[in-house]
Amino acid sequence: MIFRKSALNFDITSYSQSAIRTNIQMSTQDKGTAKLVFYLKKDGTVLPLSGVKAVLTMFFSDGSRSDRDLILVDKVNGIAEYVLSNDEIKHYGKVEAVLNLYYVNKQALSAHEFTFEIVRNLVDRDIVPVAEYYIDDFEKLKVMINKLYDETVQTVEDLRKKFEDLENVETKEGAQEKADAAEAKANDYTDTHANNKKNPHAVTKAQVGLANVDNVKQAAQTDFDAHTADNKRHITADERSKWNGSQLYKITSDDGQHLLGMAGKDLFTELATKRTTTFYSNKTTTNQPPVINSFRGIQIGQDNIGEVLAMGNDGSTWRVTNSNGWKAWEQLETTSGSQSKVDAHANKTDIHVTTTDKESWNDLISQFREHNYNQERHISASERIKWNGKVSYANITLKNGAVAGNRMPIYARWGPFLLFRGHVKTDAEIIFGSIPEAYVPVGGAVVSIALSGTGGTANLVVYENGDLKIKYPDPVDPSKFIGGYYIDAVTGFQEGGTA
């Protein structure tokens, strides 16, 4: 079905009961479709609707009234609905309403008062509002009928009395004359009675309770006035406000000592349900700091949450935290305690060095550095490579028709030596090759080499410019030279000076 829904969120509290002016507008033509949806809460929480009857009472601008039950559509989440009937929707104008909850245990709860408006539709301009009453509950209907009957009877009785008064209407002059006469008689009576000192009513002491009154002198009015003005005996408005607003929660006993005695008790159990407080414990107390001493302490906190300081009669101070569960005690360090630990550490000669130790170690380090950087006592990387036998050879540049035999003619310098290796085929007495001048010993060199295939010898001449020549072969028969020469030879360097 289609409805014109209007939501009302009611939070039932004790702070405000004033009527809520809503912007809800319905039309006299919203027949069977004008629905109010109530979302009920109690102090900000959803109000369950179990075991309750929700009644909406509406007062229309023409004097009509309606008392009907709401439909509880969601009891768990506090949701109820109300659809205005076709008879109710025709009462246009401002509607004042109140929602009341009646529980099965005879309790009742006023949810809220509110207002909304029913606008007369153009097609309903001929509606003449007539006061009507709509009641779901028969008992309420009976009460309403009896009330209307009583009101009608009272109205008739009031009219009857008015008509009786019309028959005895007094003139202004006659009424004034009677009033003057009555006033004169009253004055005479009161004056006479006031002057009568003979107890005309025969009042006794027992009747006024004189037997209960002490026969003592009463204070004068000036004494009462002086007492009233005595601000030392009375408090002022500011003092009253100050004292009424002061903290009433005690953290010590009335004489200023600790509030809680923990002897023979569990300190953690006792403090868990206390808030800010002071206490005393001793060696009979369970869960006090882990030393045999008496303690005085203070807790600052709330239920199952707090910080506790305990001060022992030995001068120690301890702390423990409760955060929905107690942690372990921790001892707080003092200045003297810290200093004693520092002193004890400083006096441990086995873990500290002396000035003599430092000087000795510094001297060793200095000697080590001096030794480490002594290039005369140590070899370099290039020297190590050279002395370990690693030699880099280069090919001899062959000239004048000389060719390599079964091994390529090569040369190298290794430390103070010039090395030759290889097999060369060449004629004697000619320059057959050359090496760089930098590789030649000062003044050149002459070394003996072997003839290939004959067992003969010859001289290898190394000139200062690096040229190489074969001289003085033996035997001298040229036919014996065709095998070539083995130039495997070593010659030393003088490095340009004398020994």
Q: Are residues 20 and 86 in the same domain?
A: yes
Q: For residue 480, name the pLDDT band (cuts at 50, 70, 90).
A: low
Q: Which of 92, 110, 131 is the last residue of a domain?
A: 131
Please give the pLDDT value at position 355.
86
**Residue where one domain finishes, among candidates 333, 357, 372:** 333
Query: Does 407 map to a domain?
Result: yes
Domain assignment of residue 362, yes or no: no
Task: Report if pTM > 0.85.
Answer: no
Task: Give mean pLDDT, residues 124-138.
Answer: 62
Q: Which domain holds residue 423?
A: 391-492
Q: How far apart are CA 279 and CA 330, in angstroms?
A: 18
> Which amino acid type is present at position 105?
N
45 within domain boundaries: yes
CB 394 within 8 A of CB 410: yes
Distance CA 251, CA 258 (A): 8
Q: What is the pLDDT of residues 284-316, one digit of tens each?
A: 999 999 877 898 999 998 888 999 999 998 888
Write the CB contacts of 442 (distance below 8 Å, at least 6 apart in sequence). Answer: 464, 493, 494, 495, 496
pLDDT given at position 296: 93
pLDDT at 136: 61
Which 3 state secondary structure label does DSSP give 6?
strand
For residue 110, the model assigns a pLDDT of 84
Query: Domain total for the chain?
Result: 3
Query: Residue 476's domain is classified under what CATH number?
Result: 2.60.40.1830
* 22, part of any domain: yes
pLDDT digits over 192-207, tens only?
777 777 777 777 777 7
Residue at a domain's end among 72, 97, 131: 131
Q: What are the C-alpha distances in Å from 446 to residues 46, 165, 324, 438, 467?
A: 120, 176, 103, 17, 12
What pLDDT score was predicted for residue 147?
67
Confidence label for 375 from pLDDT (cuts 50, 70 and 90): confident
